[in-house]
Amino acid sequence: MIYTVTLNPALDYVVHIDSFNEGSVIKSTNSYTSAGGKGINVSRVLKTLGSPSKALGFVGGFTGKAIVDAMAKEQIEADFEQLEGETRINVKLKSGQETEINGVSPDITDANFTNFQKKLEQINENDTVVLAGSVPATLPETVYATLTKLIHNRGAHVFLDTSGAGLREGLKAAPDFIKPNHQELGELYDTSVDSISDAVRLAKRIQTDFGVTHILISMAGDGALYVSGKKVIHAHAPKGTVINSVGAGDSFTAGFIHQFKKHDTVEDALKLAISTGSATAFSAGLCDRETVEALVPTIELQGLNEEGIS
């Protein structure tokens, strides 16, 4: 079974405008809401690809109810801990450029967290648990390390997709898979990633410093890297018109796990990951299966040496 954990879900409010002028009244040309937050998006895309999953995390208020209703409508199993406050609204402004205003997370009490941890007792050996998204303000930065240890004790694998302090602390518990994007990777070592070889060098440092087995680095239009042991693979992203890249990273994660859980090669998993991420980037909302399947045969992989050179 695949579980997704979203500690900090969001109702995404996607607003299209012709141009953004600060201080003026702007009429949107199109807008919609979407149940979001990283683990929730992963569950939604897994469903599209044909993998069942169960979504765990915290929701509250009318925004939380909108998420619960959306999951039920899409027939995705979910078991969220209910909070007193309201799940945040994240505004995604599309004006040619993409601007994001992410809301404030509701409070999570000690009792809420204890109830949530009880839900993790259903996890069994060989399950995969995706821990994804930012750490809410009322939880400690070490929360992903705590959860990773707990999940490892139950014999399951952990896929961690987060950034900043949550990633830095989470790495200390050696999750099995991580997927920072190239900016998040740079932030981890207080540097910038300006080339594929920069990304490979830092991925190798993560191997040495934290002992993570499968390191995926997504790089938007530059595709993605997979680093494990001595293996280094660069997957090229297909060319296309980007309509909405919100959820592209989560779609990439879903594509990788869907294929990897079938015991296919990492090469096949990487091809599906790129196809799924790019299919979402080329779509108005999250991807559909036809768009993903059409991209798979177009994806090119390139083996690199440990310096990131072909």
Ligand X SMILES: O=P(O)(O)OC[C@H]1O[C@](O)(COP(=O)(O)O)[C@@H](O)[C@@H]1O
Ligand Y SMILES: Nc1ncnc2c1ncn2[C@@H]1O[C@H](COP(=O)(O)OP(=O)(O)O)[C@@H](O)[C@H]1O
According to CB under 6 A, which one of 150, 242, 296, 301 is a site residue for ligand Y?
242
Residue 81 binding result from ligand X, ligand Y, none, given CB thresholds of 5 to 8 Å by partner type: none
d(Cα 202, Cα 200) in Å, to the nearest integer? 6
CB closer to ligand X out of 151 and 286:
286
CB closer to ligand Y out of 108 and 188:
188
Please list the residues that pair with 2 across neighbouring strands: 53, 128
d(Cα 70, Cα 11) in Å, to the nearest integer? 10
Residue 86 binding result from ligand Y, ligand X, none, given CB thresholds of 5 to 8 Å by partner type: none
Using CB under 6 A as the binding rule, whether residue 257 contacts ligand X is answered as no
Residue 53 binding result from ligand Y, ligand X, none, given CB thresholds of 5 to 8 Å by partner type: none
Q: How far is the CB of 266 from ligand Y (least distance, A)?
A: 15
Using CB under 6 A as the binding rule, whether residue 63 contacts ligand X is answered as no
Using CB under 6 A as the binding rule, whether residue 281 contacts ligand Y is answered as yes
d(Cα 234, Cα 223) in Å, to the nearest integer? 7
Using CB under 6 A as the binding rule, whether residue 102 contacts ligand X is answered as yes
According to CB under 6 A, which one of 4, 53, 134, 275 is a site residue for ligand X?
134
Strand-by-strand arrangement of the 30-36 sheet: 30-36, 10-16, 88-94, 98-101
Q: What are phi and psi of 253, to 5 degrees?
A: -60, -45
Spell out, one character per residue from 185 to 204, where the chain touches ligand X: x when CB under 6 A holds, - when not.
--------------------
Using CB under 6 A as the binding rule, whether residue 227 contacts ligand Y is answered as no
Q: Give the 3-state secondary structure of 9-63.
A: CEEEEEEECCCCCCCCCCCCCEEEEEEECHHHHHHHHHHHHCCCEEEEEEEEHHH
Spell out, one character per residue from 250 to 279, where the chain touches ligand Y: x when CB under 6 A holds, - when not.
--x---------------------x--xx-
Can you tell me which residue has the tokens 């959820």? 247
Give the active site residue among 176, 250, 264, 268: 250
CB closer to ligand Y out of 60 and 277:
277
d(Cα 183, Cα 185) in Å, to the nearest integer? 5
Using CB under 6 A as the binding rule, whether residue 246 contacts ligand X is answered as yes
Please list the residues that pair with 158 across neighbouring strands: 129
Residues in the chain: 310
Residue 153 in tokens:
């004790």
Residue 223 binding result from ligand X, ligand Y, none, given CB thresholds of 5 to 8 Å by partner type: ligand Y
From the list 30, 44, 28, 35, the residue with the least C-alpha distance to 12 is 35
- The question of whether 264 is a catalytic residue gets the answer no
Using CB under 6 A as the binding rule, whether residue 278 contacts ligand X is answered as no
Residue 235: C-alpha distances to residues 87, 210, 222, 258 (Å): 36, 24, 8, 17
What residues make contact with ligand X under the rule CB under 6 A?
A: 8, 10, 12, 36-38, 41, 90, 102, 133-134, 246-250
Query: Which residues are known to be catalytic?
Result: 250
What residues make contact with ligand Y under the rule CB under 6 A?
A: 181, 218-221, 223-224, 237, 240, 242, 245, 248-249, 252, 274, 277-278, 281
